[in-house]
A and B are shown apart, each in its own frame.
Chain A
Amino acid sequence: MPARSESAELDAAVEAIVKGVYDSGALYDPHRWWPRSYLPYSPLFAADFHSQWLDQWREIPRQGAERYARSTAIWVLLAMASRSLKTLFDEKERMSVFLALLDDIRSAKAGDPFCRDGRHLVLMDDEAQAIVDRLSFADATDRPTDRAYAGLNATLLAFSEAVFFSANCTVREVHGPYLVHYDGEPRQLLVRDYYRLRDQALEVETADVSYDAIRTYSLYDETVRFEFTVLNDYTSDQPLGTAAVAHAAELWRGDEVSAAEDVVVVGEATAALSATIAAVGARIADTSPVDETVEIVRRTYYRASPIAEAVGGKWEPRPEFILDFRVALGDFHATTPPSMTRREFGVMVDPRK
């Protein structure tokens, strides 16, 4: 039986997963992922995926998760793996894996690892303040400027969805709100961090995108209520785009970073991303449902590629597994995700039960 503090830690972790996956509606929205939800197909590949992933993860020296992945990516893996852990290990071993993952998450975050205060923090507030002090922000009360930055943020979200399909969470980290001051007023800073934008591992059509990473910064009035969960999705009672006070963005090409301080630069970045989105969409439209599903599985494996890179390995489904998967797919009739209560979901992801 876990020690009391350890038990409280596990309670908090399970509640965080339930909040992020079940309460958010992510689990039951069949249209959550583009081009199709991988959830109905997950029984066909989950065991293979998680056993391979855990084998590689165990080889990584435990020196801090920031070395190989962002906290959201680890949370996604933990939420996905919690069910498979029960089929792969006995209670003692799955508890050790679960707790080790929580340690990784804790070391990758600056704030509460379970976002119990509604904040998802990977920076300290003073680090965020230094960013605000360093950058020139554009006035969000100027309608065209606000729309330009909102368009860039929406396009980055769509880009990550288009290029990485259901693995999009591994290339974005939306974090905050950081409590800062701007022009002498208390503000909240949200950071939308999109990285690995030109990653060629999936042979995607990113040739027209010259940015390796784009990070946007938006300042909000202190009254806007954010509610981040561990899985990096957040809700607000107010439409975010129109509630912002000021925006800024930084564009990375290799180690070179440039600030996007006007709508022309923001528009150019948005257009380049949009062209890639259209190219990927056109290719998917010409792909058979079976090939599309196989590709989704391949990209689901891609979630764990930073872990493989950390140990000098390569993360991809085994060719023989893809063959087996194609065969199994022929007899498998995809359904919507199974219905379950909040409590049932909590039991499913709890490593103690």
Chain B
Amino acid sequence: MADDAVLVCPMTTPEWVPVMTRAAALVADVGGKMSHAAIVCRELGTPAVVGTGDATQKLAGVEAVTVDGTEGKVYAGSV
């Protein structure tokens, strides 16, 4: 896993933490403000956007994404 890799996943559970600690950012289909992904990323200081619904489908095959955790937005490509 590259240092600048963005983790795009359906949702996270406690088992995902070792991977989450290495991710530069996280995007999850499922989750809310208090979900596992959100609270762990807050602890890590990792930008995250959760509850996207279909990020894993829309970002399938996309090589570069930009994650704005403050605004809750994900862009295809480098912005």
Which residues does A use to contact B, with CB under 8 Å?
24-26, 28-32, 34-35, 147, 150-151, 153-155, 157-159, 161-162, 233, 236, 239-243, 274, 277-278, 280-281
Q: Chain A contacts of B17 at CB under 8 A?
A: 154-155, 158, 274, 277
What's the count of A-B pairs with C-beta under 8 Å? 84
**Residue of A whose beta carbon sits closest to that of B37:** A31
Which residues does B use to contact A, with CB under 8 Å?
11, 13-15, 17-18, 20-21, 30-36, 39-40, 42-47, 69
- Chosen A-B contacts, 15 in total, with CB atoms closer than 8 Å, are A29-B33, A31-B32, A31-B36, A32-B32, A34-B13, A35-B13, A153-B44, A161-B14, A240-B42, A240-B43, A240-B45, A241-B43, A241-B46, A277-B17, A280-B14
Question: How many Å from the CB of A167 to the closest CB on chain B?
Answer: 14
Cβ of A31 and Cβ of B33 under 8 Å apart? no
Question: How many Å from the CB of B36 to the closest CB on chain A?
Answer: 6
Cβ of B35 and Cβ of A154 under 8 Å apart? no
Cβ of A278 and Cβ of B42 under 8 Å apart? no
Q: Chain B contacts of A159 at CB under 8 A?
A: 14
Beyond A29-B33, A155-B21, A159-B14, 15 additional contacts (C-beta under 8 Å) are: A25-B32, A25-B33, A26-B34, A28-B32, A29-B32, A31-B32, A32-B32, A35-B13, A151-B21, A154-B20, A155-B17, A157-B39, A157-B40, A241-B43, A281-B13
Cβ of A161 and Cβ of B34 under 8 Å apart? no
When A34-B13, A161-B14, A240-B43 are in contact, do A154 and B34 touch as well, CB less than 8 Å? no
* Partner among B31, B34, B44 whose Cβ is within 8 Å of the Cβ of A241: B44
**Residue of B whose beta carbon sits closest to that of A234:** B42
**Alpha-carbon distance A241/B44, docked complex (angstroms):** 5
The 10 closest A-B pairs by CB, nearest first: A241-B45, A29-B32, A239-B45, A158-B14, A25-B33, A281-B15, A162-B14, A242-B45, A31-B35, A151-B21
Question: How many Å from the CB of A190 to the closest CB on chain B?
Answer: 11
* Partner among A29, A30, A34, A239 whose Cβ is within 8 Å of the Cβ of B42: A239
* Partner among B15, B34, B40 whose Cβ is within 8 Å of the Cβ of A278: B15
**Alpha-carbon distance A31/B30, docked complex (angstroms):** 8
**Alpha-carbon distance A301/B49, docked complex (angstroms):** 33
Q: Chain A contacts of B35 at CB under 8 A?
A: 29, 31-32
Question: How many Å from the CB of B35 to the closest CB on chain A?
Answer: 4
Q: Chain B contacts of A28 at CB under 8 A?
A: 32
**Alpha-carbon distance A162/B12, docked complex (angstroms):** 12
Cβ of B14 and Cβ of A151 under 8 Å apart? no
Question: How many Å from the CB of A16 to the closest CB on chain B?
Answer: 17
Q: Chain A contacts of B46 at CB under 8 A?
A: 239, 241
When A150-B45, A242-B45 are in contact, do A158 and B40 touch as well, CB less than 8 Å? yes
Q: Chain B contacts of A151 at CB under 8 A?
A: 21, 44
Q: Chain B contacts of A236 at CB under 8 A?
A: 42
Question: How many Å from the CB of A326 to the closest CB on chain B?
Answer: 25
**Alpha-carbon distance A264/B17, docked complex (angstroms):** 18
**Alpha-carbon distance A137/B68, docked complex (angstroms):** 31
By CB atoms of chain A within 10 A, which of B11, B21, B31 has the most? B21
Cβ of A277 and Cβ of B15 under 8 Å apart? yes
**Residue of A whose beta carbon sits closest to that of B17:** A158
Cβ of B36 and Cβ of A158 under 8 Å apart? yes
Question: How many Å from the CB of A259 to the closest CB on chain B?
Answer: 21
**Alpha-carbon distance A188/B42, docked complex (angstroms):** 18
Question: How many Å from the CB of A149 to the closest CB on chain B?
Answer: 10
Q: Chain B contacts of A161 at CB under 8 A?
A: 14, 36
**Residue of B whose beta carbon sits closest to that of A32:** B34
**Residue of B whose beta carbon sits closest to that of A33:** B36
Question: How many Å from the CB of B53 to the closest CB on chain A?
Answer: 13
**Alpha-carbon distance A243/B45, docked complex (angstroms):** 8
**Residue of B whose beta carbon sits closest to that of A27:** B34
Cβ of B45 and Cβ of A281 under 8 Å apart? no
* Partner among A34, A233, A274 whose Cβ is within 8 Å of the Cβ of B18: A274
**Alpha-carbon distance A54/B32, docked complex (angstroms):** 32
